[in-house]
Amino acid sequence: MSSPEKAGWAVRRRPDERPEKAGWAVRRRPDEQSGEGRMSGLKRPDGRPGEDRMSGQRADVPESAESGVDYGSIQMGDGMKILIVSDTHRKNENYWKVLRLHSPLDMVIHCGDSEGSESSLNQGSDCQVRFVLGNNDYFSSLPQELEFQLGKYKVWVTHGHSYRVSLGNDWLKKEARAKGADIVLYGHTHRPVVDYSKGVIAVNPGSLSYPRQDGRRPSYVVMEIDRKGEAHFTISYL
Give the pLDDT of the chain (238 residues) as one tens digit per residue: 444 444 444 434 433 443 333 334 334 333 333 333 332 333 333 333 333 322 333 223 223 233 333 444 455 567 899 999 999 999 999 999 999 999 999 999 999 999 999 988 988 888 999 999 999 999 999 999 999 999 999 999 999 999 999 999 999 999 999 999 999 999 999 999 999 999 999 999 999 999 999 999 999 999 999 999 999 999 999 9
d(CA 181, CA 161) in angstroms, rounded, equals 18
d(CA 76, CA 180) in angstroms, rounded, equals 20
- Going 63 to 64 to 65 to 68, the CA torsion angle's sign is positive
Domains of the chain with CATH codes: 1-66 (no CATH), 70-237 (3.60.21.10)
Decide: helix, strand or coil at residue 73: strand
Q: Report DSSP state, residue 51.
A: B
d(CA 135, CA 232) in angstroms, rounded, equals 28
